[in-house]
């Protein structure tokens, strides 16, 4: 999809959640990441060598990845300047923002003149259809969240890997720009036209008959007033057999919405199960993934234990403690019967 090695862009960001696309590549495609580019006012680092555009080009970087994200996804003037510098240094430029590189004439002209590519990862396919909700074959797991950016992508990748480690066929199905860059494919569901949300997910995860799993990356939260529509359409399109709830215990308020509290885990899970039943009557919860990065290990273990007891479900931090407890539950569950068209 995009040519490695990458130079990962942090720019002027001071929001550690906002650089999650760059961080995702640094984590999951570390071998392809040559360094990070940040301005002097950026307090963040991914732990990669800090390179100027020119240094990165000289070291062989092929693509500058604008791996920052923020609500609305506007293309700031500084960002355009930096993208221009990368093109001038001979690099392709990839972006996951809502605003498209191809809509910035100066970048389009420069890329054409130099024979370089502008890659807008958030371009959905042109041939989407509306969803049908028709039952389809295959086992599907969807990660859902109490909020945006609480670890759904990370959990999804870890769960797909966990299933493979148990000898099952499993595919991570990316629905956001970071996941798409990591997986090399997917559909940016928050960028499709609203009428096609559930249809896009039906298309991303068509019927499968090999007994394997599609592990679908969730987006947003049913409790986030900016994005709940995306989350609901995704839930209906996914037609999941299993839900895994993701949560960041350090998150004091909904992302981008000062003062708005996160839902409780029980409330959030119940609402997701309820809504999912519209297209997947047998849906069940399969576990909870906590992002415990803010906690000491003992606290993190205690929180997982307490959460598991309270919800009666396996609870883990997939990064810190792995996904085995959830695997045990998933692999113990019988395959669902073949779907029928009756409802």
Q: At 83, is the secondary structure helix, strand, or coil? A: helix
CB 297 within 8 A of CB 253: no
Rounded to an integer, what is the distance from CA 155 to the centroid of its chain?
9
Q: DSSP letter string over 111-165? A: HHHHT--EEETT---TT---------SSEEEEEEESSSSSSHHHHHHHHHHHHHH
Task: Compare residues 30 and 132 and give the one whose CB is closer to a copy of itself.
Answer: 132
Measured from the CB atom, the residue of 139 and 236 that comes closer to a copy of itself is 236
Contacts of 58 (CB under 8 A, 6+ apart): none
CA dihedral 199, 192, 36, 116 (to 10 degrees): 110
The DSSP call for residue 217 is P
Q: Cβ closer to a copy of itself: 234 or 313?
A: 234
**End-to-end CA gap in the chain:** 40
Smallest gap from Cβ 189 to a copy of itself, in A, equals 6
Burial class (CB in 10 A: 0-12, 13-18, 19+), 322: middle
Q: Would you say 7 or 187 has its CB closer to a copy of itself?
A: 187
Minimum CB distance to a copy of itself, residue 245 (Å):
18
Rounded distance, CA 267 to CA 306, Å? 17
Question: Residues 223, 271: contact at Cβ < 8 Å?
Answer: yes
* Residue among 195 and 299 whose Cβ is closer to a copy of itself: 195
Considering beta carbons, is residue 166 or 261 the nearer one to a copy of itself?
Answer: 261
Nearest distance from C-beta of residue 309 to a copy of itself, angstroms: 28
Q: Which is nearer to a copy of itself, 202 or 214 (CB)?
A: 202
Q: Which is nearer to a copy of itself, 205 or 307 (CB)?
A: 205
CA atoms of 273 and 276, how far apart (whole Å):
5
What minimum distance in Å lies between the beta carbon of 320 and a copy of itself? 31
CA distance 168 to 138: 13
| DSSP tag of 93 | E
Nearest residue (CB) to a copy of itself, 239 versus 307: 239
Binding residues (CB under 8 A) for a copy of itself: these are 71-73, 98, 129-134, 189-195, 197-199, 222-223, 225-234, 236-237, 256-257, 259-261, 275, 278-279, 341-343
CB of 84 vs a copy of itself, minimal distance in Å: 23
CB of residue 95 to a copy of itself, shortest distance in Å: 15
Which two three-digit tokens encode residue 121? 């990862």
Shortest reach from residue 258's CB to a copy of itself, in Å? 9
Q: Considering Cα of 143, then 147, then 148, then 151, what sign does the dihedral take?
A: negative
Q: What DSSP character marks residue 102?
A: G
Give the shortest CB-287-to-a copy of itself separation in angstroms.
25
Work out how close the CB of 144 gets to a copy of itself at its nearest, in angstroms, rounded to a whole number.
Answer: 14
């Amino acid at each position: 999809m995009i040519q490695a090695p990458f130079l990962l862009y942090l720019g002027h960001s001071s929001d550690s959640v906002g650089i999650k696309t760059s961080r995702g590549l640094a984590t999951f495609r570390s071998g392809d990441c040559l360094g990070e580019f940040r301005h002097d006012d950026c307090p963040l680092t991914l732990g990669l060598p800090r390179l100027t555009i020119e240094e990165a080009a000289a070291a062989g970087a092929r693509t500058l990845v604008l791996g920052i994200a923020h609500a609305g996804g506007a293309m700031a003037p500084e960002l355009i300047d930096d993208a221009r510098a990368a093109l001038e240094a001979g690099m392709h430029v990839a972006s996951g923002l809502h605003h498209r590189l191809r809509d910035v004439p100066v970048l389009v002209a420069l890329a054409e003149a130099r024979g370089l590519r502008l890659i807008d990862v958030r371009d959905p396919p042109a041939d989407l259809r509306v969803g049908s909700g028709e039952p389809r074959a295959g086992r599907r797991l969807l990660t859902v969240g109490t909020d945006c950016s609480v670890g759904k992508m990370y959990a999804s990748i870890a769960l797909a890997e966990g299933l493979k480690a148990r000898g099952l066929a499993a595919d991570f199905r990316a629905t956001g720009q970071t996941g798409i860059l990591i997986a090399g494919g997917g559909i940016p569901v928050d960028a499709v036209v609203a009428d096609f949300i559930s249809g896009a997910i039906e298309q991303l995860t068509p019927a499968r008959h090999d007994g394997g799993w599609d592990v679908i990356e969730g987006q947003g939260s049913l409790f986030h007033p900016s994005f709940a529509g995306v989350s609901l359409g995704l839930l209906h399109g996914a037609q999941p057999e299993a839900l895994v709830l993701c949560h960041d215990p350090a998150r004091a308020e909904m992302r981008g919405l000062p003062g708005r509290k996160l839902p409780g885990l029980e409330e959030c899970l119940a609402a997701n199960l309820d809504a999912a039943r519209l297209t997947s009557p047998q849906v069940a919860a399969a576990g909870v993934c906590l992002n415990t990065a803010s906690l000491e290990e003992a606290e993190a273990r205690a929180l997982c234990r307490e959460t598991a007891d309270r919800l009666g479900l396996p609870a883990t931090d997939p990064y810190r403690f792995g996904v085995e407890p959830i695997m045990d539950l998933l692999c113990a569950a019988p395959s669902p019967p073949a779907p029928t068209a009756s409802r």
